[in-house]
Structure 1
Amino acid sequence: MDDFLSREVRAGPLGHYWFLTFEDKTTFLARAEACQQHIDPVYFEPTPIGGLHLTVDRIARVGASTPGQRAAIVDAARPVLHQLASFTTTIGCVTNLRGAIGFVLEPAERIYALRDLLRTATRSVLPDAAVKDSPTAPHVTIAYPKYEGLETLAATTAEGIGTPLDSVEIAVSEAVMVALERYGHSYRWNTVARLRLGTACRSQSAR
């Protein structure tokens, strides 16, 4: 550990985002938990199973949107997602994600199509929204690095895990607006709204 520089640990609100969450995906959650058993907690902090997520897009940084604007974004996204059919993604082997460890979801094009629809809704209310294009493919992180420069170790760990279970299919049937916070090396969030794909939206009051 003396050879590694500790990553800066920050805490606090980050803003509002579009997520995919996996609370009811029991097979996937079991696979993620099995993979985490092979990850050294000295170097990596496993994501709490209830905290697994896929970031689809950023809506606004903290303080850059109002409750009324977020409610308007939900209203703009509702009819668009109503016309988008649910789809299935596949999770394969574990991989290195720039020093983190996680799964890549395929086909990426389905996730990008969902992102683009949600981004259009966001920008219809916030034209200058600080949306975010990730340099990595759509993914779910199962462990975050505690130190800088762990890309090689993350890759070796991921290769060692391989594919401990058969590939898992995940049905994507909703997008979730969340208020996101950084918590140590990981994240936590509060759900603002859940928008169903292919059916009428089911949401909470935007906050």
Structure 2
Amino acid sequence: MEGHRVLLTHDTSAFPPAPPPDLDDPQVIAAHDWAAFDRVEEMSNHWDRRGWTPSTRAYYWMLGFPADSALAEHAQQCQDEIRNLHFDPIDAGGLHLTLGRIGTIEDVSLGELNALLAAVAEMSTDRFRLQAVPMTASRGAVRYSIAPWTPVLDLHARLSAAGARCRLPLRKPTSVLRPHIGIAYCNRAADARMVRETIRPLRGMDCVSVPVDHLHLVEMRREDRAYRWRVIDQVNLA
């Protein structure tokens, strides 16, 4: 199967703002993520983000991971090691890789959603496997680096093309996607140096192999400084 050719661009709203020099090498990606975080002086409150209120409900494409997976067990070990940060941990059932926002429930009709699902069901996309590489952070969360990026970018590009055909373009283009899996959200302004000192020892841990054989369309909301969602449909990858 020939994948979509995606040219990633520099974008200050993304993190890291610049893409890594190699989109598939785990060591290169992890080093690039860490170098970007090494330039952060102060982390910000993840929950102070525009576009969300207690009543917001929005449709997203995402990759979800079972609560009893090797990833969930590994994430729990990492969360135990960073308890001193007092961040908001993501529970085992909440681990995810966000692919893209489609729109709020007010902006997207049931008919449009069904048309989108039908278009995505016709896509030919292979299942793949990722490596979750411990551990790094962004401006607002502690997270895994992810490798390789290419199959994730290809999947996003296909979802974006399907959405465009249904007049439901994703909120952000594939060119600014920076795949990652978070384990804890920063809930206040915090000295990034302290966070680096805490998570640096975790960088010596083994990577986690993560199979990806389906994606979810979900209706997402926020509850008590956590993301929760209702699965609308699951799309199995070939």
Q: TM-score range by the shorter chain?
A: 0.7 to 0.9
1:103 lines up with 2:144 in the alignment: yes
Question: TM-score when scaled to structure 1?
Answer: 0.82
Q: In structure 1, give the amino acid aligned to 2:148.
A: P
Give the CA deviation at 1:41: 5.8
* 1:47-95 alpha-carbon deviations (Å, 9 max, x no partner): 1111111001111134110111111100000111xx2111111111210
Q: Structure 1 residues 124-133 or 178-187, which shifts more?
A: 124-133
Counterpart for residue 182 of structure 2: 141
CA distance in 1, matches of 2:94, 2:156: 20
Q: What 5-or-longer segments of structure 2 have no aligned partner?
A: 1-41
Question: TM-score when scaled to structure 2?
Answer: 0.72
Which structure shows the higher strand fraction?
1
Counterpart for residue 232 of structure 2: 192
Determine if contact 2:157/2:174 at 8 Å carries over to the other structure.
Answer: no
Aligned length: 193
Percent identity over paired residues: 24
Q: In structure 2, give the amino acid aligned to 1:32.
A: A
Counterpart for residue 219 of structure 2: 179
CA distance in 2, matches of 1:38, 1:47: 14
Q: In structure 1, give the amino acid aligned to 2:218.
A: V
Cα 1:136–1:94, aligned 2, differ >3 Å: closer, same or farther? farther
Cα 1:162–1:128, aligned 2, differ >3 Å: closer, same or farther? closer
Cα 1:106–1:93, aligned 2, differ >3 Å: closer, same or farther? same
- 2:171 match: secondary structure: coil
CA RMSD of aligned residues (A): 2.5
Q: What 5-or-longer segments of structure 1 have no aligned partner?
A: 199-207
- 1:147 match: secondary structure: coil
Counterpart for residue 117 of structure 1: 158
1:63 lines up with 2:103 in the alignment: no
Determine if contact 2:58/2:220 at 8 Å carries over to the other structure.
Answer: yes
Counterpart for residue 194 of structure 2: 153
Moved over 6 A (4+): 3-6
Give the CA deviation at 1:127: 4.8
